[in-house]
Amino acid sequence: MSDWVVASDVARNFSRREERRRQTQDALIDAAMRLLSEKGFNKTTTDEIAAAAGISRRTLFRHFPAKADLVTAWTQQMTDVLTRRVNACPADMLPQAVIQVALEAVVPYMAKTKEEALAFVRLIERTPELRSVSLNKYACWEDSLAAALEQRMSESGDRALAARVAARSGIAAFRTAVDEWISVKGRTDLVVLIQRVIMLQIACFREI
């Protein structure tokens, strides 16, 4: 058997293992987010999450040592979406447009339904034990936005600082839209709220 054939078999086996690992993690994340949002973070046990995912408790802990790690993995999925969308924006796209399309791109990936998305967002935004997870998510989004925006801004000594200001303003707009979304119990579409808040943000700065 040639070295090429052996290497090919190894690659296929590795690919299959990675696919199984990804499927297991996706099942755990999905089960965890549904249970945690329905029962509450503290009232949901890891045994319940494992059972809902059809996976043993031992397997759960091999992938996610703590319940908060499951929520972190859920936020990472959206961080990856935002980063890919930012990187796909044309080089000549205006910074404000980059921010808006990137933030809007995240919304469809929150959950399978609007009702689940609202429940998941309420969980992470309103659970004290998950505050650090939420803040870290927004910090990662800010880093992705700032890196993309810096390339689009005119050369100056404050270029990096300006990109950070713009990125943080975008995150503030998203968080404000999410707060309003939770407040109105999802009766207004989140994307519409994001657009509305960004427009209000622009109007406020113009009046200063």
- Two tokens, residue 46: 């890891």
User: Given 38, 65, 92, which residue is the final one in a domain?
Assistant: 65
DSSP string, 108-139: GGS-SSHHHHHHHHHHHHH-GGGHHHHHHHHH
Looking at residue 11, its pLDDT comes to: 52
Q: How many domains does the chain have?
A: 2
- Do 15 and 95 lie in a common domain? no
CA distances from 19 to 12, 30, 71, 132, 200 (A): 10, 16, 21, 30, 44
Token pair 């297991």: residue: 24
Burial class (CB in 10 A: 0-12, 13-18, 19+), 82: buried
Q: Please check whether residues 77 and 175 belong to one and the same domain.
A: yes
Same domain, 3 and 44: yes
Residue pair 144/82 in contact by the 8 Å Cβ criterion: yes
**Same domain for 110 and 76:** yes
Question: What residue numbers bound the domain in which 78 lies?
Answer: 67-208
The 10s digit of each residue's pLDDT in 112-128 is: 999 999 999 999 999 99
Same domain, 132 and 180: yes
Its pTM stands at 0.86
| Co-location of 75 and 147 in the same domain | yes
Residue 8 reports pLDDT greater than 90:
no
Tell me which amino acid residue 81 is.
V
- Per-residue confidence band for 151, with pLDDT thresholds at 50, 70 and 90: confident
**93 & 194 share domain:** yes
pLDDT for the residue 92: 86
Give pLDDT, residue 9.
Answer: 52
Tens of pLDDT along 22-81?
899 999 999 999 999 999 999 999 999 999 999 999 999 999 999 999 999 999 999 999
37 neighbors 123 (Cβ within 8 angstroms) = yes
Q: What is the CATH classification number for the domain harbouring 16?
A: 1.10.10.60
Residues 50, 25: contact at Cβ < 8 Å? no
pLDDT at 36: 96
Alpha-carbon span 187 to 48, nearest angstrom: 31
- Shared-domain flag, residues 183 and 162: yes
| Same domain assignment for residues 108 and 81 | yes
User: How high is the pLDDT of residue 68?
Assistant: 95
Q: Is pLDDT above 80 for 103?
A: yes
Both 53 and 105 in one domain: the answer is no
Name the nearest CA neighbour of 136 among 179, 97, 78, 194: 78
pLDDT value at residue 15:
76
Is 171 in contact with 142 (CB distance < 8 Å)? Answer: yes
Of 65, 80, 102, which residue is a domain's last? 65
Write the CATH number for 90.
1.10.357.10
Q: Tell me, what's the pLDDT at 26?
A: 92
Q: What is the pLDDT of residue 6?
A: 46
133 and 31 in a common domain: no
Q: Indicate if the pLDDT at residue 110 is higher than 80.
A: yes
Instruction: Name the least confident of 50-64, 109-123, 143-157, 186-200.
Output: 143-157
- 133 and 55 within one domain: no
Q: Which of 11, 36, 65 is a domain's end point?
A: 65
